[in-house]
Chain A
Amino acid sequence: NAGVTQTPKFQVLKTGQSMTLQCAQDMNHNSMYWYRQDPGMGLRLIYYSASEGTTDKGEVPNGYNVSRLNKREFSLRLESAAPSQTSVYFCASSEGTGGATNSPLHFGNGTRLTVT
């Protein structure tokens, strides 16, 4: 059982380049999330999808777009990368369909992105 799978594991971009981070889960979870982790700042929510066909902004959505392709897959796109987007990106999923769910999150192993 793979859980949450993220690709790629590492990526280096030049300022202005674009890329898509891929995420897939095999747990039949309804909700999926994208977080970024920066030193001393914990995890910050970029976008989430409470169910297939819906997406909503989190705390730090600027510079990102997302697509909930189907129930399994949730991708994050950087249209024009900036050095401020250098970070570790985590995808997560949970059983809840949004709202005040108490379902824990299941995380992938992250994508380490450097923008020069």
Chain B
Amino acid sequence: AQSVAQPEDQVNVAEGNPLTVKCTYSVSGNPYLFWYVQYPNRGLQFLLKYITGDNLVKGSYGFEAEFNKSQTSFHLKKPSALVSDSALYFCAVRDRVNTGTASKLTFGTGTRLQVTL
């Protein structure tokens, strides 16, 4: 069974500082990996995804994520945080192999990012 772990319920960072939101995953095969962001009273919005190739993936709003196969991690990063980045962030994984329970995307429990002045 596939799973995603986001070990931090909340990450606090000062505006202008770099931020990292951690994610580790477990799948039987090779993964597709995703990051989504959720603002209050809104649905999730897609930020970026890893399919194959370059381990550093760039996405929306200046976010990037680094795929590390040996550590089974896909941490979200941003060089300089903004107060407007404060939101709930979800990591998600899907196994590339069609296991019959097709299209199953497994989400982590979410990490709340709080950026302060």
Contact = CB atoms under 8 A, between A and B. Distances in A.
Interface of A: 4, 31, 33, 40-45, 48, 50, 56, 58-59, 90, 92, 94, 96, 98-102, 104-110
B42 A109 contact: yes
Contact of B103 (A41, A101, A108, A110): A101
B103 A50 contact: yes
Interface of B: 4, 32, 34, 36, 41-46, 49, 51, 90, 94-98, 101-105, 107-110
Contacts of A107: 43-45
Q: Which of A56, A59, A99, A106 has most B Cβ within 10 Å?
A: A99
Given A42-B108, A99-B103, A102-B94, 18 more contacts: A42-B90, A42-B107, A42-B109, A45-B104, A45-B105, A50-B102, A50-B103, A58-B104, A90-B44, A92-B43, A96-B103, A100-B94, A100-B95, A104-B49, A108-B43, A109-B41, A110-B41, A110-B43
Contacts, number: 67
Contacts of B49: 102, 104
A101 B95 CA distance: 9
B43 A102 contact: no
Q: Which of A40, A41, A107 has most B Cβ within 10 Å?
A: A107
Nearest to A94: B103
A44 B94 CA distance: 13
